Every structure is written in structure tokens, then in C-alpha cells.
Amino acid sequence: MIWLALLLGCKKDDLPKPTQIGADTFGCKANGINWIPDGSSGPTPLHPVEGGYQVNYGVYIRAYKKRNNVNEAIQIFLNNVTKPGTYSLNYDTPYYPQALMAKNHATYANYNSNSFYGTTAEVGGTVIITRADTVAKIVSGTFSFNAVDTNGNQIKITGGRFDVSNK
């Protein structure tokens, strides 16, 4: 009987399965709700997930989604990633144009309300790189972070996983 209660109490995890093949997948929970990109709010709707290695920078991952008629994006930037390991998102998130070459940080954007959340030295998270292939340009891993807007409101991103390539 206990196993039935446990089975019924489990929520289905519809996030993409973890892979390390450059499948351009991404998923996480935003404040506890599954967040899977569909590309509808991004500059290239056919590509809901973009990322990989950027020349003279490091790793970038961008994902776009429309949820409840709200256009959203999540972005992660990491400097000097050449091998698997744990990387902290512990720098203040700069805004454009400085964001293009910023150190390790992540952002969440709600474009409908012009709400932008970023990691800071005090509110951050981690990315665990499980594959860092600079030749095949594949980056895979997991992540979680908290981000804050200019009014002090926070969003919690958990259970994240990605597998991107900019071949």
C-alpha cells in the first residue's frame, strides 16, 4: 500500500533526458514548474535552444519559450571551460553590451513585463559540465541557480539539464 501512495504522489518528469551527443536539448524547473523551450520567444523560432563554444569566450546556452502567453528566455554564460567540472554562477549579471563577455552568470527574462533576473555574487548557483568537447563543440551538463531582479524579487531555477553544440 505504501508503494501505491509513493507512485501516486510522484510527479512525471517531462524534462528532456540527459544526453551528451550535442542534441540541442534543454530543460529545467522555474519556480517548481517544468520549463522546456519551444523557441517561440527567441530570435530564431526554429531553434529553441542555442549554445556551445564561442570563440574567445567560453560556453553559452540560450533557451526560449512562450508559457501562458509570456515570452521567456534563460541564458547561461561560462568563461574558460575546457573540461568537465563544477562551475559557479557567482558574478553579478551585467546588462548589454557588457553581458556579451561577462564572467560566469545566468539570466531569466520575461519579455512581456520587461522583467530581467540575474545571478549575483550573493544569489547564484552552479553548472556541472559533464562533457566539454572543444573539438566537436559539444557541451553537456546540469545546472541550478537563483536569480534576482532589480526589485529584489527572485526566481528559482532547479533540475536543469542541457546538451548543446554549435557545430
Over the stretch 85-139, which tens digit does the pLDDT of each residue have? 999 998 887 655 455 556 898 999 888 888 889 998 899 999 999 999 888 889 9
Distance between first and last Cα of the chain: 51
Do 166 and 24 touch, CB atoms closer than 8 A?
no
The pLDDT of residue 13 is 65
Residue 101 confidence (pLDDT): 56
The pLDDT confidence band at residue 166, using thresholds 50, 70 and 90, is confident
Residues of the chain with pLDDT > 90, as a percent, come to 43
Q: What 3-state class would DSSP assign to 103?
A: coil
* Distance in angstroms (rounded) separating the CA atoms of residues 108 and 154: 10
pLDDT digits (tens, 9 = 90+) for 60-84: 898 998 877 788 999 999 988 889 9
Residue 39 reports pLDDT greater than 50: yes
Q: What is the pLDDT of residue 43?
A: 62
Cβ atoms of residues 153 and 124 within 8 Å: no
What is residue 42's predicted lDDT score, i.e. its pLDDT?
A: 61
Asked whether 59 and 50 are in contact (CB, 8 A), the reply is no
Which pTM was predicted? 0.85
